Structure 1
Amino acid sequence: MPGTEYFKKSAKHTLKPRWGGAITVVTVGFCVTILLMMAEQLTDMLLGFTLTEQTLIESGNLRAFYMEMFGQPLKAALYFGVSALFLLLGIIVRAPISLGIKRYFWGVTAGGPETAGTAFDFFASFKMYFRAVRMELYIFARILLRAIILLIPGTALIWLSAYAGDYQVLALLFGYLAYIGAAAVMIPEALKYYMAGYILANDDEISPSGAIKKSIKMTKGTKGSYFILMLSFIGWWLLCIFILPMMYVMPYTGAANAHYAHYVMREYAKKNAAENGRTQIIVY
C-alpha cells in the first residue's frame, strides 16, 4: 500500500485547479455545523443551564457534573433531552450535506467535473435524503451501543470513587484506564464504517445497510493505514484554532481521504476479481 505522502500529494495535485470549488463546498458544511452549535448554546442559555455546568462537561469532569445535576432530576432530564434533540437534528441536517461533500471529493479525485452544488445532491429527492439520514443513524446507533457497553466499567469506577475512601485515587486510576481501553477498542470499531459514505454517495441503488456491510468488508486490513493517514494531519488541524487555515485543511483532508477511498475500492475490486477467477477454475 502507498504511504500517506502519496495520498497527500495526490490531494494537492487534484485541488490545484479546484481550490475555489473545494473551499466553497467545505464552507457549506462548516457553516451548518457552526449554526447548529450556536442554536444549541442559545437554547441552553434560554433554559438556564449555568456556565458552571457547561464548564464541568467541557473539562471532562463528568462525575462533578453528574453530582451537580443529581439533585435536580427535572433539570437533568431537560438538559439531556435538549442535547439528544440537537444531536438528532445534527444528523438530520448534516448527513445529506456530509454525503454530498464526499460525492464532490470522490468526483474531483476521479477527474470529474464536479461543482460546488454537488454538496446539495442528497436534498434532490426524499429518497436520496432519507438514504443519507438512515445510514448516519445506523452507523451512529452501532457505535453508540458499543460505546455504552465499553464505557460502563470506567464510568462506574469514576462514579464510585467518591465513596471509595482511601481507595479513591486507585478507583479513579482504574476508571481512566478503562476509558483508555475502551477508546483503543472503539477506534478500530468506528473505522470500519469510513467507506460507507463513499459507497452510498456513488451507488444510487445500494441500501444504507448494504453500504455499511460492504464498508466492513472493504476496510479489513486497511483501518490501521487509514488511521495513520488521519494522524498525519494533526499538525494541520492544530493550526485550525486560528479558523482561517480550515479553508485549506478541510479540502486537503477531504481530497486525501477520497484518494484513499479510491485506492481501497480498487484493491477490493481486484481481490474480488481474483477470487472469482479462482472459483471459476475450481468449478470448470
Structure 2
Amino acid sequence: MLIKLYIQREKRVNMKNSREIREEARKALKGNWLAAVGLYLITILITLPFAIGSSLTENGEHYVLSILFSLGSILLSVVISTTVSTYFLHIARQQKIGYADSFSFAFKKFWPFFKLTFLMGLKILAWTLLFIIPGIIASLRYSQAIYIKLDNPELSSSKAIRVSSEMMKGYKWKYFCLALSFIGWVLLVPFTLFIGGLWVSAYYNTARSVFYDILNADRIVKLT
C-alpha cells in the first residue's frame, strides 16, 4: 500500500488534546454505539469458555487441559485484538464494516498479526525486566504498530514496530494522557455492575483510533 518505512515528518502534527480526541470519538460513535458495544459482548462470549476452562483445570490433575485452554486463550486474544482494532479504526473513520468482515479479516491475517503481537510482547517484556517505567514507555512507543500493520499489511512486524517508534516520538505523553483521561469512566464501571465497561471499552478504542489517524495524517515516507 502506501508505505514501507517511516522516514521523517515535515512539521509536527497539530495533535488535539484528550478532550478534543474524545469528542471526535463520540462523533464517530454517534449512531454506532449499540453495534460497537455488541462487538465487545461477542468477544466476551467467545472468550468466556476458555476462561472458565482454565479456572476449572488449574489443579495438577488436569495440567494438559490447562495448557490447552491457556494456549487457546493466547491465540484467541490475537484474533480478538485484530478484530477490535480493525472494527474501531473503521468506526473512527466513519466507514461501515460488519462483525463478520472484522472477524474474517482477523482470521485470514492471523499469522502476520500473531508475529507482530509476539514481537511487541517480547520487546516490552525485555524493557520491563529492566524496570517498570521503561516497559511502560516501550508499550507507548509500540502502541501504533497494529494500526500501521492494518493500513500497510505488506510491512514486516519489525518495520511496523519501527514505524510506530518513529511516529510516537514527541507524542508518548499525549497518548498516555489520553489513556489517563478515561480513569474517571473506568472508576464508574463497578457501579454499573460492570456492564458499563462495554461502553467505556468502545469509547476508549475509538479514541485510540482517532489518535492514530491524527498522528498518521502528515508524514513523509519512501518505498524500500
TM-score (norm. length: structure 2)? 0.82
The within-5 A match list for 1:122-133 is: 122-125=105-108, 128-133=109-114
The count of residues paired between Structure 1 and Structure 2 equals 206
SS in 2 for 1:266: coil
Higher helix fraction (1 or 2)? 1
Corresponding residue number in structure 1 for 2:211: 260
In 2, the alpha carbon distance for the partners of 1:5 and 1:84 equals 43
Corresponding residue number in structure 2 for 1:218: 167
Corresponding residue number in structure 2 for 1:3: 17
Structure 1 residue runs of 5 or longer lacking an equivalent are 50-77, 151-181, 277-284
Cα displacement (A) at 1:251: 0.8
Q: Can you list the C-alpha shifts for 1:113-160, whole angstroms capped at 9, x where unaligned?
A: 1222243033443xx110111111111111122223x2xxxxxxxxxx
Paired residue for 1:90, among 73, 80, 84? 73
In the alignment, is the contact (CA less than 8 A) between 1:98 and 1:119 conserved in 2? no
In 1, the alpha carbon distance for the partners of 2:145 and 2:91 equals 18
Q: Give the number of the structure with larger relative contact order, counting CA–CA contacts within 8 Å between residues 6 or more apart.
A: 2
Cα displacement (A) at 1:96: 2.0
Structure 2 residue runs of 5 or longer lacking an equivalent are 1-14
Paired residue for 1:47, among 51, 60, 64? 60
Code of the residue aligned with 2:120 in structure 1: it is I
Cα displacement (A) at 1:263: 0.7
Q: Can you list the C-alpha shifts for 1:77-108, whole angstroms capped at 9, x where unaligned?
A: x7xxx57972x543311112211211111112
In the alignment, is the contact (CA less than 8 A) between 1:91 and 1:133 conserved in 2? no
Change (3 A) 1:134 1:198: same
Aligned-residue Cα RMSD (Å) equals: 2.5
In 1, the alpha carbon distance for the partners of 2:49 and 2:169 equals 36
The within-5 A match list for 1:1-284 is: 1-44=15-58, 46-47=59-60, 86=70, 88-125=71-108, 128-148=109-129, 150=130, 182-241=131-190, 242-267=193-218, 269=219, 272=220
Change (3 A) 1:102 1:259: same
Taking only the aligned residue pairs, the percentage that are identical comes to 25
